[in-house]
Amino acid sequence: MTGGATGIGAAAVKVLSAAGATVVATYHSTPPPEVDGVSWLQCDVRDAAAVDVMVAAAAEQMDGLDVLLHAAGMWQPGIPGQITGDQIDFLMDTNIKATIFTNQAAYAVMRKSGGGRIINFGSGEAVMGSPIAAVYAATKGAVSAWTRSIAKAWAAEKVSAIALAPAVQTPGADRLRDFLGPAAAEFIDEEIKKTIPLGGVLGDPVEDLGPTLVFFCSDASHFMTGQLVAVDGGLVMLGA
């Protein structure tokens, strides 16, 4: 698992280890939490060579690799008409290159051992569009397209791929509130009440997203691949 020190990744570490999974998780600069039975590897997932070394080490520790949960990523504001090259480069590296590097490294291991499952994170913003985080939305759209592509390319070797689009409370949601300021954040809260039918609030990463992670990390989801699955209380109804 990548990005296990904070946000959705930290929730996933907690949930999957409690479900009995053997977990090796990565962190970059944030010190990881102490979780019984979880091993940690430091890695900058934007560095292809570092990713290859990390995945090989994780596979050696676990005697194989059944699932890659790629949770590392970043939300960043970006208003169309005001976006700089540095902002684009940062999100391209963090959200797209890192996804490709980690997925390919995992595939190299999985194809030799009979298959596996790759779980990436897309976003509802990629489907709806975002006037305040346009490059983020674009990169997450690319993650979804990449996930569909590898689902087709690697299926013959029994490597499947899913992208999840959660709407849960994370550090990214906090950064959005900070960017908007108190008045606009209050407006967003009111909009969330209207647009998330189940509860009117962002979900909890452990209680609401956690069971979905367990499902997709298990054999129960073996006949699913290439999908963008919204776990968002009904915010984005992808089948509509």
- Asked, for residue 236, whether it belongs to a domain, the answer is no
Determine the average pLDDT of the residues in 187-194. 88
Residues 33-78: tens digit of each pLDDT: 889 999 999 999 999 999 999 999 999 999 999 999 999 999 999 9
Q: How many domains does the chain have?
A: 1
3-state helix, strand, coil in the chain (%, to 5): 50, 15, 35
**pLDDT class for 238, splitting at 50, 70, 90?**
confident
Least confident of 185-189, 220-224, 232-236: 185-189
Query: What whole-number distance in Å separates Cα of residue 143 and Cα of residue 147?
Result: 6
- Asked, for residue 240, whether it belongs to a domain, the answer is no
- Asked, for residue 22, whether it belongs to a domain, the answer is yes
- Asked, for residue 83, whether it belongs to a domain, the answer is yes
Query: What whole-number distance in Å separates Cα of residue 117 and Cα of residue 89?
Result: 28
More confident residue, 186 or 100: 100
* Domain limits for position 50: 7-231
- Asked, for residue 32, whether it belongs to a domain, the answer is yes
Residue 190 has pLDDT above 80, yes or no: yes
Residue 184: per-residue pLDDT: 77
Q: Are 125 and 165 in contact (CB under 8 A)?
A: no
- Asked, for residue 136, whether it belongs to a domain, the answer is yes
Name the E strands within the chain: 24-27, 39-42, 67-69, 116-121, 159-166, 228-231
Q: How far is CA 124 from the centre of its chain?
A: 12
* CATH number for the domain that contains residue 105: 3.40.50.720
Tokens of 36: 């019984």
